Amino acid sequence: MRIIILIIASTFLFSVIFTQRHRRPVFTCGRNFTGDTGLIGSQGYPGVYPPNNKCVWRITVPQGKVVSLLFRALDLESDSLCRYDFVDVYDGHINGQRLGRFCGTAKPGALVTNRNKMQVVMVSDANTAGSGFLAVYSAIRPNERGDRYCGGLLDKPSGTIKTPNWPDKDYPAGVTCSWHIVAPQDQIIELKFEKFDVERDSYCRYDHVAVFNGGETNESRKIGKFCGDSPPMPIYSDGNHLFIMFLSDLSLTADGFIGHYRFKSRSLSTASAPLTTVSTIPLTTPPAALTYSEGLCKQKCKRTGTIESHYCSSNFVITATLISAAMREHSVLATFSILHLYKEGSLAIQQAGKTMSTKVKVLCKKCPLVRRGLNYIVMGQTDEQGQGIVSPHNFVMAFKTKKQRDLGVLKNIRC
């Protein structure tokens, strides 16, 4: 009898221990984590996450380490811009740089901070769909190698950097990637972009690539800030460290870029000065600003010269549709929707989706005379703010498709 009771008791005790060891973890809405490793999951995972919710998880690992977060599962409402349900990952707890925003079911590679703190935020709207996410965090050494989502330490003699999803589809919205390239002390770094297509803005205020001398973001050591669809000229560091940061906001995205770097001996390096332009948009030194004068506008409205002779002397050349014209004393502020950009110079261009537009000041309201809804070839100058300026002697004429070939030929010549 005692043996039977002992067997039953042992079986019950083993069952309790086994159940405790294999009990599924319960995931709550937010939590503070410390230690070298841990498991984070959306509220109720793997059940459907609740609607209208915001949860915040804060991770702190020991000093001297950084945080690596790897998604084991991701199943949130899918949207190309992650506007509804999403997970944001930040470098740090307060005012940290966002490392990425994620939704749908495509899992990124490891996301790695630059310090010992990380914040994970999940937001859901009224309509939910999916089981949420499961991720594991680990404390790792700074610059430790691994299969990262983007960015990282690069110290081989040559290598490649590229945006997430390249070349299969557009880079995602709401992501930050940082590459730190380190060469031997007696060498510098050459960086060349093979393909480049980042959301266009005249001042690269939205999506952009910023390149710095040194190993961190430092405005005083910035080499350039780039966007648009023209690859920057080759970039050379002035020392053995180069820092590249790519940032995309939560709106428009594009193909992205792929670039290649290599180490070069200082003695064999190019004698060119470092590139300092703020965007991939070619910058043309503007002439003295043109202004209205009574004498100018009294001139006979007659264009001289040819399309070829005006092409090289103009700061910008576009074909465009006039969509609005507002009177400004003696002048007209015209807004053009750009059909094709042949020569950009420093012309300020606005872009929404694939539609580009620009504002041009027509100094003399009657010359050239333009009408809304019609297409024009417009050549002119730009002021210091990048606004186009057209005077009576600049080349403006109605655009006909047969001129498209002529402009295409001119685009390929060197002025």
Residue intervals of the chain classified under CATH 2.40.50.120 are: 294-411
**Digit-coded pLDDT (tens) for 338-386:** 998 888 888 888 876 677 888 899 988 888 888 888 999 999 888 877 8
Domain covering 152-268 assigned CATH 2.60.120.290 in the classification? yes
Burial of 53 (0-12, 13-18, 19+ CB in 10 A): middle
The DSSP bridge pattern shows strands 331-343 and 86-91 to be unpaired
Q: How confident is the model at residue 10 (pLDDT cuts 50, 70, 90)?
A: very low
Mean pLDDT lowest for which of 113-117, 293-297, 333-337, 391-395?
293-297
Give me the chain's average pLDDT, please: 82
Residue 253 has pLDDT above 90, yes or no: no
Residue 163 has pLDDT above 60, yes or no: yes
Residue 68 has pLDDT above 80, yes or no: yes
Q: Tell me the CATH class for 31-140.
A: mainly beta
Mean pLDDT lowest for which of 74-83, 134-143, 155-164, 230-239?
74-83
Q: How confident is the model at residue 3 (pLDDT cuts 50, 70, 90)?
A: very low
Instruction: Provide CB contacts within 8 A for 334, sequence distance 6+.
Output: 322, 324, 325, 359, 360, 361, 362, 370
> Cα separation of 331 and 391, whole Å?
10
Residue 276 has pLDDT above 60, yes or no: no
Q: How confident is the model at residue 14 (pLDDT cuts 50, 70, 90)?
A: very low
> Cα separation of 235 and 161, whole Å?
14
Which pLDDT score is estimated for 240? Answer: 94
Which pLDDT score is estimated for 318? Answer: 92
Q: Considering the entire predicted model, what is its pTM? A: 0.53
Instruction: Provide CB contacts within 8 A for 378, sequence distance 6+.
Output: 316, 317, 318, 319, 320, 336, 360, 388, 390, 396
Q: How confident is the model at residue 402 (pLDDT cuts 50, 70, 90)?
A: confident
Q: Which one has a higher pLDDT value, 169 or 9?
A: 169
Instruction: Provide CB contacts within 8 A for 257, sequence distance 6+.
Output: 162, 163, 166, 193, 194, 195, 196, 197, 198, 209, 231, 246
The arithmetic mean of pLDDT across residues 151-158, rounded, is 88
Which pLDDT score is estimated for 21? Answer: 44
Residue 28 structure tokens: 């709550």
Residue 7 has pLDDT above 50, yes or no: no
Residue 174 has pLDDT above 80, yes or no: no
- If you average pLDDT over each of 136-145, 221-230, 298-307, which comes out highest? 221-230
Which pLDDT score is estimated for 275? Answer: 43
Which pLDDT score is estimated for 48? Answer: 92
Q: How confident is the model at residue 260 (pLDDT cuts 50, 70, 90)?
A: very high
Residue intervals of the chain classified under CATH 2.60.120.290 are: 31-140, 152-268
Which pLDDT score is estimated for 271? Answer: 41
Mean pLDDT lowest for which of 253-267, 281-295, 326-340?
281-295
CATH of 294-411 given 2.40.10.10, 1.25.40.10, 1.20.59.10, 2.40.50.120: 2.40.50.120
